[in-house]
Amino acid sequence: MNSYSIGIDLGGTKILTVLADKKTGEVLSFVKVKTKKDKGSDKLIKKIIKSVKEVIIAADKKLSEIENIGMGAAGQTDRQNGIIINAPNIGLQNVPIKEILEKEFSKPVYLGNDVEVATIGEILFGSGKGETDFVCIFAGTGVGSCIVQNGKIRYGATGSAGEIGHIIIEPNGRLCGCGAKGCLEAYASRLAIERKIRAELNRGVNSDIINYMKEDKPIKTAMLKKALENNDKTVIDVLDETCFYLSLGIASIINFYNPSKIILGGGLINGIDYFYEKTVKLAKENSLAVPSREIVFERAQLGDFSGAVGAAMLADYREIFLDDKNC
Ligand SMILES: [Zn+2]
């Protein structure tokens, strides 16, 4: 008999909820809704609960057929107690999401962070299948990574291993959300690209992107792609700079960890071929000769669904690796 679980990817700009087959990872239904920081945590929690109910109906299943619920949240999480400690992009602080969802659905709820669950999705059903030593790097609203060693996620001494977004790549550079200056995330995320483009426009530079932008709305990956297709010089220059900085972070990982594979994912990578190809080329150029010759780059096979599918598998994954104290 098939068994099903629900996975929720709580990202910086959207909530993607899926109902997945636990054995095959197949997505039977999904719901995608936008998140807005200013609307408060109560509204956001209501949206999450509604999404869970909707995917069950859309897949023509009953709650009784669901084994458990998993969630990956962008930000700092308390995995053991299921609390979102701080998710600055969506304005959540100290939200006991496990307790809230368990009360609502009477199902076990598991919480991880967004990069962790996306990596689990890739380990079980995507580009990481059959691999033992690799690193997943996701570039989207922010920049994050996850280290896989001997087929297991490395959580580190306090559970924060893989914070590639906070590698300092520019001394005294741009201020990062973490409080430090010159972090990779301040240069290689969609938010960083957006800030740079807006600054260029304010300087009076001409750009095609102005035709796709909506005043106070985020600059989406699709808009960047469109401007790129129209050979917009401003957008090309900003993307080139972003790829260069991201490649420096990736090259450092190649030199330090010597993984056999790097899986790249996240909105910018999934959405823009040029961004992926340029980043890979520069990362190879900027890393040591031997590891860069051998390394294999691959895009996250599950694309935008890595996180939600991985979240649905969080309980099973933890069961396999229950010995890990930080898991
Ligand atoms: Zn930082």
Ligand 1 center to 165 CA (angstroms): 6
Sign of CA dihedral 312, 144, 321, 90: negative
What architecture is domain 130-300?
2-Layer Sandwich (3.30)
Of the given ranges (19-23, 106-110, 154-158), which has the lowest mean pLDDT? 154-158
Residue 298: partners with Cβ closer than 8 Å, 6 or more residues away:
127, 261, 262, 263, 264
Q: How far is 287 from 295, CA to CA, in rounded Å?
A: 10
pTM, full prediction: 0.92
Output the CA 166–ligand 1 centroid distance in Å.
4
pLDDT at residue number 213: 82
77: nearest Cα among 110, 39, 121, 106:
110
Burial category of 2 from C-beta neighbours within 10 Å (exposed 0-12, middle 13-18, buried 19 and up): exposed
* CATH for 4-120+305-320, options being 3.40.50.300, 3.90.25.10, 3.30.1360.170, 3.30.420.40: 3.30.420.40
Report CA torsion sign: 187, 190, 195, 200: positive
For residue range 41-68, what is the model confidence (pLDDT) as tens digits? 889 999 999 999 999 999 999 999 999 9
Strand-pairing partners, residue 183, are 168
Share of the chain above pLDDT 70, in %: 97
Q: Predicted confidence band at 325 (pLDDT cuts at 50, 70, 90)?
A: very low
Provide the sign of the torsion angle of the four alpha carbons 143, 308, 113, 126, taken in this order.
negative
For the cut 70, the answer to whether the pLDDT of residue 38 exceeds it is: no
pLDDT digits over 182-237, tens only? Answer: 999 999 999 999 999 999 999 999 888 888 887 778 888 999 999 999 999 999 99
- The rounded distance, in Å, linking the Cα atoms of 100 and 47 is 13
- Distance from Cα 119 to the centre of ligand 1, integer Å: 21
pLDDT category of residue 298 using cuts at 50, 70 and 90: very high
Q: Which residues contact 320 (CB under 8 A, 6 or more apart)?
A: none
**How confident is the model over 311-318, as a mean pLDDT?**
92
Q: CA 225, CA 239: separation in Å to the nearest integer? A: 10
Alpha carbon of 172 to ligand 1 centroid (Å): 12
Quick one: pLDDT at residue 234? Answer: 95
E strand residue ranges, the chain: 4-10, 14-21, 27-34, 66-73, 76-78, 83-87, 92-95, 109-113, 134-139, 143-149, 152-153, 261-265, 296-299
299 alpha carbon – ligand 1 mean position (Å): 25
Q: Where in the chain is the domain with CATH 3.30.420.40?
A: 4-120+305-320, 130-300
Distance (Å) from CA 177 to ligand 1 centroid? 6
pLDDT tens readout for residues 254-263: 999 999 999 9
Which of the four pLDDT bands, split at 50, 70 and 90, describes residue 11? confident
Highest mean pLDDT among 11-15, 43-47, 296-300: 296-300
Q: 201 C-alpha to center of ligand 1: Å?
A: 26
How many angstroms separate the CA atoms of 74 and 273, rounded?
A: 24
- How far is the C-alpha of 6 from the C-alpha of 71, rounded, in Å? 8
Crossing angle of helices 233-257 and 221-229, in 10° steps, is 120
* Tokens found for residue 50: 């509604």
pLDDT tens digits for range 120-140: 999 999 999 999 999 999 998
Give me ligand 1 centre to Cα 286, in Å: 22
Task: Give the Å distance between the CA of 138 and the centre of ligand 1.
Answer: 15
Cα separation of 282 and 188, whole Å?
Answer: 14
- Residue 15 CA: distances (Å) to CA of 72, 106, 148: 10, 21, 25
Rounded distance from Cα 281 to ligand 1 centre (Å): 25
**How many angstroms is it from 86 CA to the middle of ligand 1?**
14
